[in-house]
């Protein structure tokens, strides 16, 4: 946290996280009062100890579980085909733009007569897909850069980090926005890519940080001393110990990407094809109706909020659990 | 310190330069463009060709960039084609900036005024129900899509109950403009109703925009207070029998504030650069809104300067944060 | 139990004990983990001007003891039983604010890591003066020269400059000196030093110990020296308590203990420190294993698994602390034969 | 949440309110702003929610409706538009006469007219203006888009220019010569772009000094200080607060505007405009979203529905997809798409399925033509006959846009896609942002087989629709040059346009319309959709115009 390392101030949450990995062993030692043979295990074990009793974590986990299950089974339990304009004949822009609740359609339909409940249920699927894939893409991208930088240091490091700096110098939403705009044919994929791209530099910095923290830690030095190849050192010794913070970040990113996706379709950069419903898209599309038929926006919004909250709760409590500093 | 400053400045220049190149390529890679944005349905091949030529968009890209760079170095960032046709892009940025600063400032006040005290309370009562409650609350703040929150606020407090204005920065009161900070102008010109109107317009957007910074500041405060509470020097202070007030003030908070200051700085950067959603919902005449418009109409010059400026503001603020950090933290100062 | 725990040697120091700890038991009850007793029925006395050592490896509960006495254990997550009577008042049951008044004035403490124990963002001088302001109700202005004086006394060169310096600008030794200066600012009657030298390199260690010794003798302050290093004790303490697994396993006056250690653990500790008077090339024999392998005191001798000469009883019942009239105490079924 | 919110809310409100309190008192003695109106229970300000910022105030260089909406209040042309219709009426010219060959037009000007700067309006002024437009140079030519579009070229290329010359016979008589006869002239002189402005002001404001700079044009001072003949004149443009303030023009020849101040508040977001209206901070706005009409009416506002003066069509490109060269296939598409349902479920009331490419209000409209019915079976059969079963169709729609003729393109496209798939056509769905290259792909690149697009008429002439669509077969969107009758149709259209006699021309166009839909069907006409504009119940005297050419001088706003 000293200016000697310029962009640290950028998202110091990242570096906080990064630091935890490095100090794991030290922490373990301080905890047990004696040198612990295998830091990783005891760390996770004790983390789990704390998590089991943290209400924050339990709530988060519960929400997430429900969400994932829903995403898997929703097509089976959805009362109607979410793409079928079943109530289209009732739609009249003036008299009745949004068909209301009625037998068989507890929440009514949307502006082209598709069953709202079914769309909400099935929406969980695409939403999960967006979240998960955005995270995966962001992670892989970030890992590649981060490992390059963290593992080799030197000019590779500074080159990669300059690139990261440039990316980080653009406010994240703006970046997503810009990338989504490039898509000549907007689709779910382009949305995912845009959202993921924002996460790449963050993951990169995160990994690099925690790996640098370890370059000089005992077990890595030891491994080197034993003449383990650089590659092995990186993948067998440094990477595994950097994973804690990465996992935490990932859970948080799951939430962020779902929200960002919503923001994109609010700005009209979302996936134009709405046969496969996605909550963010539903929310974005509800804009024209928000005044007379707010429910059209409120339902998907609530879904997003709850799910995002779920992931964030998990991530935050995970982070606290893994962070030795908060263990006294 | 001096060396560090110079290094940072150089770095900044580099970042901005690389960015400008990326930006330029990006703009040209965008589907469509100024020409069709201007011509609309009326476009005929002839008019399109003529316009393309007139706008110099037919030249090879590096030539265009060269020209852009040359002009930019002379403070000329081109002319708006659609946001405010014929206006100098730089001027547009300068007239919009105060709006965004004003909004960000109020949003930040909101975030800090709540974030730090609550963060401290949460840390003192770590793992208590109060703590968990506050943490969850703050996380809800993060989980709500900003634009939805904005809509919600607008709907509740502006449309349903007419407590606050729906959108914009000020009622049409024929106010005198000096700095384009409406609240300030009102005070300077003694047109207090202008200030009042501006304030009323600020409330809802500030809250909408301030929620995420609030959550972040809250969490950082909580975390760093937690850390400091466990530090040896706090124990030392206690062992000296110092009063609770002194221990908290001089030993706990003063150390805990370091990362918080950092974060506040960071958030400021984000706010100034990224208020697109809030500004759009509240039709706020700031940079974010201009960005959205410029983007919709493919107004290259305006996009260019706005994004560059956003990045620049962002990097500069980071630098300022580092400096302020150095000023607060003696360890850095004397290194 | 209390009856048995009358500390002998009263003959030499006539006056009443300044601090007398009786049956101190500290149990950590961190939620989500089974309660763990760190200090288990520890009793000892400290008389004015006397220097008492608490010795043992890390994790033996010596630091916890001191924190318990100072009332510095975390507010939640632990249970403290027993008494620590200081000039007639029990510190353990004293009201928080009353305790604050005593801390730093009557009882002061020095900690292990001088860097982390100093507030990084407050100048050294301020950190000294704040004690005076608090307890001597001096103005900051009035306190400054006093602080300067103190820094000078603990042998910090160029004190005027140091007043305005920040901790990170001082060397390890000087930081520890500064801490000592703060501790002694209000001439406390009792000073607890928790591993004051471990974080320093050997040459500095000697200086600091010398300084402490000098200060306590001239100011008549009683000193509780907590350390894992018998070497430190050897130079300093009148009386030594050896702790193991949260209990005192052996006690005695310094020279006696060093001359003829009875408890295998004590001998172990002695054997593991290099001695100039030891035979050349005599091997250093460390104690095998670690505190991790302890047995529960309730129905065994916790040290048994690491003991050089265990007997069956050691693993079957718990040894009591037995006092002889010579002012020594021992907790062992199969002591080392007295070498005399 | 609540806890978090209310605290500062209260604080700020308190602050704000207290300030207004002391402020109002201070306002009172300052006499308040304006307040000229005699009638006490009528407001002296009419605030209109504009969807976008005006580009500039010199209509010659303007290109979009939001700009014209403002310039129309401060400028007038030789010809005006009869309120509530698409027909022309005298304005600055009281009458006009063509020569027998229709190439020379004599305009008798209204007398005693002054520009808002007090200078006189007369024949010199008229000719000065027309010549000014004709003599645009360099960037000015590119910027003067409407001139290019309606008059062709400028003085540096006289052959292709419709305009020839203007001569001031006497103070009140101007004679304008044109190079060919067309139904468009003199009607086009009613377009806001060709308004007559004060020669003095144009001179002093260096009005023609348009420069291309960077990626845009820079406009001279004049463009921000317009001087014209109109009920209002520009008072101020508060760019920082996004409001345009107009004030009554005391030099106007007509009767003084009923409301002294006219304010345009720029609110790009449609739902925000509506909320502002609901909150009473604006008195009306244009193009309310059809789905809002009901809510708006229920809330007591007046939704003024204009006559539809537009057409939405499914464009087809036989060059890109040869299957479309077969009339049967094109007709199949017409039969397959359930346009009736689309109109009912998506377009505002008053919208109708289009039987031809011009709206009923335009002269030359053929009542007798029946729209293609919705008949999937027929469609399948036709496809079969054409051997085009299972053909694929690259069918595109624009995103990030809403036009009067298509409120939500994506929804319309989705509906038709379903229909087409139902008759076994494989639809390849494509979309692009409106400003993000959609129009390029439709016109310049011809990148789609079929697409959604439409047209809103500029003035009442069939040529403004049909000519735009189907003339110049080489370059038009429908690539009619690859169809046997492409050139033929183009020529016929030109001939019809050149007919001087009104009725003769009308019949000619009626026949053409019939041929186009029944014999050619180069594209599928879909619907005419009436744009609306909404004002609060306090507003009276606003006359909606099919051409969205309202002037607000007749408007009164009750307190």
Check if A171 contacts B (Cβ < 8 Å).
yes
Q: Which long-range contacts (CB under 8 A, 24 or more apart) does C217-221 make?
A: C217/C49, C219/C184, C219/C187, C220/C48, C220/C49, C221/C49, C221/C184, C221/C187, C221/C188, C221/C189, C221/C190, C221/C191
Residue C125 has phi, psi (to 5 degrees) of: -55, -50
Which residues does chain B have within 8 Å of residue D238's beta carbon, measured at their own beta carbons?
Answer: 172, 177
CB contact under 8 A, A93 and D400: no
- Residue A174 · residue B273 · CB < 8 Å: yes
Residues 6+ apart with CB under 8 A from C95: none
CB contact under 8 A, C292 and A53: no
Q: Which of B251-255, C287-291, D159-163, D173-177 is predicted with the least confidence, judged by mean pLDDT?
A: C287-291
Buried (b) or exposed (e) across A216-226, using 16+ Cβ within 10 A? Answer: ebebbeebeee
Q: Is D487 in CB contact (< 8 Å) with chain A? A: no
Helices (H) and strands (E) in chain A, counts: 12, 0
Largest CA distance in chain C: 67
Chain B nearest C-alpha distance from D382 (Å): 32
pLDDT of residue D214: 66
The DSSP bridge pattern shows strands D93-98 and D104-109 to be antiparallel
Across the A/C interface, how many CB contacts are shorter than 8 Å? 16
Q: By the 8 A CB rule, do D439 and B41 touch? A: yes
> Residues 354..393 of D with a Cβ closer than 8 Å to A: which?
none
Q: What is the pLDDT of residue D285?
A: 93
SS3 C250: strand
Residues of C in contact with A53 (CB under 8 A): 31-32
Does the pLDDT value for residue D478 go beyond 90? yes
DSSP 8-state secondary structure symbol assigned to residue D197 = B
Give the nearest partner residue to A111 out of D291, D295, D341, using CB atoms.
D291
Rounded distance between C-alpha atoms, residue A238 and residue A22, angstroms: 10
The pLDDT, as a whole number, for residue C31 is: 62
Domain that holds residue C134: 115-185
Burial label for D337, CB within 10 Å (0-12, 13-18, 19+), is buried
The tokens for B65 are: 């960039």
D84-107: average pLDDT: 91
Work out the minimum CA distance from A50 to partner chain C, whole angstroms. 7
Q: Which CATH class is domain D310-528?
A: alpha beta
Q: Check contact A-B (3+ Cβ pairs < 8 Å).
A: yes
Bridge partner residues of D106 (DSSP): D97, D175
Nearest CB to D275 within list A88, A274, A291: A291
Is a pLDDT exceeding 50 seen at residue D5? Answer: no
Contacts of B330 in chain C (CB under 8 A): 120-121, 166, 168
C248 has pLDDT over 80:
yes
Q: Does the pLDDT at position B276 exceed 80? A: yes
Are B79 and D218 in contact by the 8 Å Cβ rule? The answer is: yes
Q: Is C135's CB within 8 Å of B241's CB? A: yes
pLDDT of residue A18: 45
- Residues of B within 8 A of D453 (CB-CB) are 41
| 0.90 surpassed by complex ipTM | no
> Is D32 touching A (CB cutoff 8 A)?
no
* Most confident option among B110-119, C168-177, D51-60: B110-119
Which whole number is the average pLDDT over B21-32?
80
Question: With left for phi above 0 and alpha for psi between -120 and 50, is residue B33 left, alpha or beta?
Answer: left
Token code pair at residue C141? 């202005």
Q: What is the CATH number of the domain that holds A172?
A: 1.10.3720.10
Residue A18 lies in a domain: no
Classified as helix, coil or strand, C9 is coil
Is C199:C113 a contact under the CB 8 Å cutoff? Answer: yes
Q: Is residue C190 part of a domain?
A: no
Q: Which residue among B132, B147, B151 sits closest to A56, beta carbon to beta carbon?
A: B132
pLDDT of D219 over the 60 cut: yes
Domain residue limits, chain D: 45-286+533-557, 310-528
A30 belongs to a structural domain: no
Of A3, A7, A291, the CB nearest to B332: A3
Which chain D positions have a beta carbon within 8 Å of A85's beta carbon? Answer: 415, 418
CATH topology (fold) of D45-286+533-557: D-Maltodextrin-Binding Protein; domain 2 (3.40.190)
For residue A272, the chain D residues in CB contact (below 8 A) are 399, 410, 431
pLDDT of amino acid D428? 92
A27 lies in some domain: no
Which of A26, A29, A33 best probes binding to C when mutated, by most C CB atoms within 10 angstroms?
A33
Q: Report the distance separating Cα D48 and Cα D243, nearest Å.
A: 10
Assess if residue A300 is contained within a domain.
yes
List pLDDT tens digits, range D406-418: 988 988 999 999 9
- Rounded to whole angstroms, the Cα distance separating C128 from D510 reads 103
The two structure tokens encoding residue C168: 């990170």
Domain holding A309, by residue range, is: 43-322
The per-residue pLDDT for A99 is 85
The per-residue pLDDT of chain D, averaged, comes to: 87
Lowest mean pLDDT among A314-323, C162-171, D22-31, D177-186: D22-31
| In chain C, residues 45-104 whose CB comes closer than 8 Å to chain B | 70, 72, 99-104
Contact of A316 with chain B, judged by CB distance below 8 Å, is answered with yes
Least confident of B28-37, C311-320, D139-148: B28-37
D290 and chain A in contact, CB less than 8 A:
yes
pLDDT band at C213; cut points 50, 70, 90: confident
Whether the per-residue pLDDT at D153 is higher than 50: the answer is yes
CB contact under 8 A, D245 and B172: yes
* Chain C residue at shortest CA distance from A48: C32
pLDDT at A324: 55
Q: Which residues pair with D398 in a beta bridge?
A: D432
| DSSP summary character for residue A115 | B
Q: Which of B174, B280, B301 sits opposite D269 (nearest CB)?
A: B280
Model pLDDT, residue D440: 82
Does residue A167 lie in a domain region? Answer: yes
Give how far B91 is from chain D: nearest CA, Å. Answer: 11
Helix/strand/coil for C113: coil
Task: Say yes or no to pLDDT of D473 above 60.
Answer: yes
Domains of chain A: total:
1
Whether chain C has a CB inside 8 Å of the CB on A327: the answer is no
The reported pLDDT for the residue numbered D235 is: 93
pLDDT at B123 exceeding the cut of 50: yes
Among D295, D430, D435, D439, most B C-beta atoms within 10 A, so best to mutate, is D435
Q: What is the per-residue pLDDT for C40? A: 85
Cβ contact B295–A177 (<8 Å): yes
Orientation of helix B2-29 relative to helix B300-328, angle to 10°: 160
How far is the C-alpha of C138 from the C-alpha of A199, rounded, in Å? 56
D291:A288 CB<8 A:
yes
C and D touch with 3+ CB pairs <8 Å, answer: no
Mean pLDDT estimate for chain C: 81
**Between B and C, how many residue pairs show a Cβ–Cβ distance under 8 A?**
84
Decide if A32 touches C, using CB distance below 8 A: yes
Residue C3 lies in a domain: no
- In tens, the pLDDT along D103-148 reads 999 999 999 899 999 999 999 999 999 999 999 988 888 888 889 8
Residue B103: pLDDT over 60: yes
pLDDT of residue C284: 64
Chain B CB contacts of C117 below 8 Å: 232-233, 235-236
Burial class (CB in 10 A: 0-12, 13-18, 19+), D540: middle
Chains that touch B (3 or more CB pairs under 8 A): A, C, D
Contact list in C for residue A26 (CB cut-off 8 A) is none
pLDDT for position D226: 93
Measured distance CA(A82)–CA(A114) in Å, rounded? 6
Q: Which residues of A touch B4 (CB under 8 A)?
A: 3-4
pLDDT in tens, B210-223: 998 999 899 889 98
Q: What is the pLDDT of residues B52-74, one digit of tens each?
A: 877 777 888 888 888 888 888 88
d(CA C105, CA C185): 8
Each residue's pLDDT expressed in tens, for chain A with a length of 328 residues = 333 333 333 334 444 444 443 333 333 333 333 333 344 455 667 777 777 777 888 889 999 999 999 999 988 888 888 888 888 888 887 777 888 888 888 898 888 889 999 999 999 999 999 999 999 999 999 888 887 877 777 788 888 887 887 888 777 888 888 888 887 778 889 999 999 998 998 888 888 777 777 776 777 777 777 777 777 777 777 777 777 778 888 888 899 899 999 988 888 888 888 888 999 999 988 888 888 888 999 999 999 999 999 998 888 888 877 765 544 3
* Token pair belonging to B97: 């900036």
Print burial letters for A100-138: b (CB count within 10 Å at least 16), e (below 16): eeeeebebbbbbbbbbbbbbbbbbbbbbbebbbbbbebb
Q: Is the pLDDT of residue D177 over 80?
A: yes
Find the helix or strand (DSSP H, E) in which C91 lies.
none
What residues does A146 pair with on adjacent strands? none
- pLDDT, tens digit, 9 for 90 and up, residues A147-191: 787 777 778 888 888 788 788 877 788 888 888 888 777 888 999
Q: Confirm if B319 and B83 have CB atoms less than 8 A apart.
A: no
Of residues B57, B85, B154, nearest to D217 (C-beta): B85
Give one word for D32, left, alpha or beta, with left for phi > 0 and alpha for psi -120 to 50: left
For each of the domains in chain B, give its residue range(s) and CATH number, in order of start: 2-73 (no CATH), 96-334 (1.10.3720.10)
Residue D247 to residues D70, D257, D281, Cα–Cα distance (Å): 12, 9, 19
Which chain C residue has its CA at the smallest distance from B334's CA?
Answer: C169
D240, B195: Cβ pair inside 8 Å? Answer: no
Q: Indicate the residue of A9, A55, A166 with minimum beta-carbon distance to B321.
A: A9
Contact call for residues A149 and A157 (beta carbons, < 8 A): yes
What is the model's pLDDT at position A128? 92
**Distance in Å, alpha carbon of C286 to nearest chain B alpha carbon:** 31
Q: Average the pLDDT over D269-282 and give the result.
A: 87
More confident residue, A327 or B310: B310
Q: Do B331 and C120 touch (CB under 8 A)?
A: yes
| Residue to test with chain B: of A6, A26, A67, A258, most B Cβ within 10 A | A6
Give yes or no for a contact between C58 and C73, defined as CB atoms under 8 angstroms apart.
no
Number of neighbouring beta carbons within 10 Å of residue D227: 27
State the DSSP H helix or E strand holding residue D50, giving kind and residue range, or none if neither.
strand D45-50
Number of domains in chain C: 1
């Amino acid at each position: 946290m000293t200016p000697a390392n310029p962009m640290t101030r950028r998202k110091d949450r990242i570096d906080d996280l990064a630091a935890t990995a490095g100090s794991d062993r030290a922490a373990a030692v301080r905890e047990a009062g004696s040198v612990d043979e295998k830091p990783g295990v005891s760390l996770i074990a004790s983390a789990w100890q704390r998590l089991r009793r943290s209400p924050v974590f339990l709530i988060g986990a519960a929400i997430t579980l429900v969400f994932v299950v829903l995403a898997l089974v929703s097509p089976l339990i959805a009362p109607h085909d979410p793409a079928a304009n079943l109530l289209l004949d009732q739609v009249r822009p003036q008299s009745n733009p949004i068909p209301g609740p009625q037998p068989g359609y507890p929440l009514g339909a949307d502006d082209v007569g598709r069953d709202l409940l079914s769309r909400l249920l099935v929406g969980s699927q695409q939403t999960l897909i967006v979240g998960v894939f955005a995270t995966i893409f962001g992670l892989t991208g970030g890992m590649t850069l981060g490992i390059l930088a963290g593992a080799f240091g030197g000019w590779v490091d500074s080159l990669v980090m300059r690139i990261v700096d440039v990316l980080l110098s653009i406010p994240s939403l703006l970046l997503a926005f810009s990338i989504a705009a490039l898509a000549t044919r907007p689709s779910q994929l382009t949305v995912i890519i845009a959202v993921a791209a924002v996460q790449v530099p963050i993951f990169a910095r995160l990994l690099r940080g925690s790996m640098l923290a370890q370059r000089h830690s005992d077990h890595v030095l030891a491994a080197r001393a034993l003449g383990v190849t650089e590659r092995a050192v990186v993948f067998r010794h440094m990477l595994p110990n950097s994973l804690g913070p990465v996992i935490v970040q990932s859970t948080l990113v799951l939430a962020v990407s779902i929200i960002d996706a919503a923001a994109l379709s609010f700005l009209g950069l979302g996936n134009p094809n709405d046969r496969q419903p996605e909550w963010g898209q539903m929310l974005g599309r509800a804009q024209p109706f928000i005044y007379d038929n707010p429910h059209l926006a409120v339902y998907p919004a609530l879904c997003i909020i709850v799910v995002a909250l779920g992931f964030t709760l998990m991530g935050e409590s995970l982070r606290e659990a893994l962070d030795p500093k908060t263990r006294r | 310190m001096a060396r560090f400053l110079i290094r940072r400045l150089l770095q900044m220049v580099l970042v901005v330069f690389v960015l400008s190149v990326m930006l330029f390529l990006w703009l040209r890679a965008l589907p469509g463009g100024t020409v069709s944005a201007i011509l609309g349905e009326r476009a005929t091949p002839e008019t399109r060709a003529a316009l393309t030529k007139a706008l110099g968009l037919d030249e090879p890209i590096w030539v265009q960039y060269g020209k852009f760079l040359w002009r930019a170095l002379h403070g000329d960032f081109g002319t708006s084609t659609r946001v405010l046709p014929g206006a100098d892009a730089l001027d547009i940025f300068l007239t919009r900036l105060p709006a965004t600063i004003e909004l960000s400032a109020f949003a930040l006040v909101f975030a800090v005024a709540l974030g730090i005290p609550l963060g401290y309370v949460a840390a003192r009562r770590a793992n208590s129900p109060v703590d968990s409650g506050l943490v969850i609350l703050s996380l809800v703040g993060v989980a709500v899509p900003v634009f939805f929150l904005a809509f919600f606020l607008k709907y509740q407090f502006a449309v349903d109950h007419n407590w606050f204005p729906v959108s914009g920065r000020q009622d049409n009161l024929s106010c005198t403009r000096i700095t384009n900070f409406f609240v300030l102008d009102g005070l300077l010109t003694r047109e207090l109703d202008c200030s009042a109107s501006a304030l009323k317009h600020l409330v809802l957007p500030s809250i909408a925009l301030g929620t995420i910074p609030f959550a972040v500041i809250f969490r950082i405060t909580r975390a760093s207070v937690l850390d400091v509470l466990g530090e040896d020097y706090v124990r030392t202070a206690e062992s000296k029998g110092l009063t609770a007030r002194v221990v908290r003030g001089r030993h706990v908070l003063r150390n805990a504030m370091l990362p918080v200051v950092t974060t506040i700085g960071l958030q400021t950067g984000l706010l100034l650069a990224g208020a697109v959603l809030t500004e759009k919902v509240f039709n706020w005449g700031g940079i974010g809104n201009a960005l959205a418009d410029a983007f919709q109409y493919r107004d290259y010059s305006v996009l260019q300067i706005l994004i560059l400026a956003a990045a620049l503001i962002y990097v500069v603020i980071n630098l300022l944060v580092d400096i302020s950090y150095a000023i607060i933290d003696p360890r850095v100062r004397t290194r | 139990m209390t009856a048995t725990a009358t500390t002998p040697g009263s003959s030499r120091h006539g006056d009443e004990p300044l601090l007398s700890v009786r049956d101190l038991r500290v149990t950590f009850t961190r939620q989500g983990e089974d309660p763990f007793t760190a200090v288990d029925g520890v009793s000892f006395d400290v008389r004015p001007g006397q220097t008492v050592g608490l010795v043992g490896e890390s994790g033996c509960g010596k630091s916890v003891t001191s924190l318990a006495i100072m009332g510095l254990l975390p507010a939640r997550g632990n249970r403290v039983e027993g008494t620590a009577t200081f000039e007639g008042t029990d510190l353990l049951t004293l009201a928080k604010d009353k305790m604050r008044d005593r801390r730093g004035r009557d009882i002061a403490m020095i900690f292990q890591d001088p860097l982390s124990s100093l507030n990084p963002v407050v100048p050294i001088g301020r950190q000294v003066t704040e004690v005076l302001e608090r307890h001597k109700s001096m103005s900051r202005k009035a306190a400054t020269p006093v602080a300067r004086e103190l820094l000078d006394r603990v042998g910090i060169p160029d004190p005027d400059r140091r007043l305005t310096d920040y901790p990170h600008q001082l060397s390890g030794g000087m930081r520890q000196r500064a801490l000592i200066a703060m501790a002694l600012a209000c001439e406390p009657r009792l000073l607890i030093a928790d591993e004051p030298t471990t974080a320093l390199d050997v040459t500095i260690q000697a200086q600091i110990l010398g300084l402490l010794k000098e200060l306590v003798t001239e100011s008549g302050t009683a000193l509780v020296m907590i350390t894992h290093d018998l070497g430190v004790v050897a130079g300093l303490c009148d009386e030594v308590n050896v702790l193991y697994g949260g209990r005192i396993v052996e006690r005695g006056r310094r020279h006696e203990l060093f001359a003829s250690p009875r408890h295998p653990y004590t001998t172990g500790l002695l054997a593991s420190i290099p001695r100039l008077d030891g035979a050349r090339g005599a091997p250093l024999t460390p104690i095998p294993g670690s505190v991790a392998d302890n047995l529960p005191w309730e129905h065994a001798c916790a040290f048994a698994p690491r003991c050089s000469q265990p007997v069956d009883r050691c693993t079957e019942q718990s040894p009591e602390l037995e006092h002889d009239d010579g002012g020594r105490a021992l907790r062992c079924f199969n002591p080392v034969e007295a070498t005399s | 949440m609540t806890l978090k919110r209310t605290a500062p809310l209260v604080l700020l409100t308190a602050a704000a309110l207290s300030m207004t309190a002391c402020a109002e008192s201070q306002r009172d003695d300052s006499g308040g702003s304006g307040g000229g109106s005699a009638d006490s229970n009528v407001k002296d300000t009419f605030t209109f929610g504009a969807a976008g910022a005006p580009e500039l105030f010199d209509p010659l260089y303007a290109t979009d409706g939001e700009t014209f909406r403002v310039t129309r209040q401060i400028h007038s042309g030789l010809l005006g538009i009869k309120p509530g219709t698409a027909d022309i009426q005298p304005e600055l010219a009281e009458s006009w006469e063509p020569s027998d060959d229709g190439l020379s037009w004599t305009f008798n000007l209204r007398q005693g007219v002054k520009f808002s700067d007090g200078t006189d309006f007369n024949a010199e002024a008229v000719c000065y203006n027309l010549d000014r437009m004709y003599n645009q140079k360099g960037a000015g030519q590119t910027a003067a888009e409407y001139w290019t579009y309606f008059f062709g070229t400028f003085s540096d290329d006289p052959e292709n220019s419709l305009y020839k010359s203007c001569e001031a016979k006497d103070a009140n008589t101007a004679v304008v010569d044109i190079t060919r006869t067309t139904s468009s002239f003199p009607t086009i002189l009613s377009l806001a772009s060709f308004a007559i402005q004060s020669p003095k002001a144009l001179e002093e404001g260096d009005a023609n000094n348009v420069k291309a700079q960077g990626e845009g044009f820079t406009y001279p001072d004049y463009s921000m200080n317009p001087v014209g003949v109109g009920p209002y004149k520009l008072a101020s443009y508060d760019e920082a607060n996004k409001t345009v303030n107009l004030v009554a023009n005391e030099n106007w020849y007509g009767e003084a505007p009923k409301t002294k101040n006219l304010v345009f508040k720029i609110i790009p977001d449609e739902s925000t405009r509506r909320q502002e209206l609901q909150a009473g901070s604006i008195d009306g706005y244009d193009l309310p979203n059809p789905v809002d009409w009901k809510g708006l009416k229920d809330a007591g506002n007046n939704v003024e529905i204009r006559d539809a003066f537009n057409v939405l069509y499914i464009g087809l490109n036989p060059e890109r997809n040869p299957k479309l060269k077969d009339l049967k296939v094109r007709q199949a598409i017409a039969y397959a798409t359930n346009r009736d349902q689309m109109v009912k479920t998506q377009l505002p009331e008053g919208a109708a399925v289009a039987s031809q490419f011009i709206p009923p209000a335009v002269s030359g409209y053929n009542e007798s033509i029946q729209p293609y019915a919705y008949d999937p079976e027929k469609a399948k059969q036709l496809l079969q006959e054409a051997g085009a079963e299972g053909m694929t169709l690259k069918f595109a729609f624009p995103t990030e846009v809403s036009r009067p003729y298509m409120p939500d393109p994506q929804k319309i496209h989705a509906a038709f896609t379903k229909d087409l798939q139902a008759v076994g056509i494989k639809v390849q769905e494509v979309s692009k942002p409106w400003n993000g290259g959609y129009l390029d792909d439709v016109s310049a690149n011809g990148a789609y087989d079929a697409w959604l697009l439409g047209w809103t008429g500029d003035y009442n002439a069939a040529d403004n629709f049909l000519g735009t669509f189907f003339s110049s077969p080489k370059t038009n969107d429908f690539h009619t040059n690859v169809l046997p009758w492409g050139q033929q149709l183009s020529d016929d259209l030109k001939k019809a346009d050149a007919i001087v006699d009104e009725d003769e021309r009308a019949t000619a166009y009626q026949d053409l319309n019939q041929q186009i839909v029944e014999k050619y069907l180069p594209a599928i006409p879909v619907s005419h959709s009436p744009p609306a504009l909404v004002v609060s119940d306090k507003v009276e005297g606003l006359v909606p115009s099919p051409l969205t050419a309202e002037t607000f001088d007749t408007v009164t706003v009750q307190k």
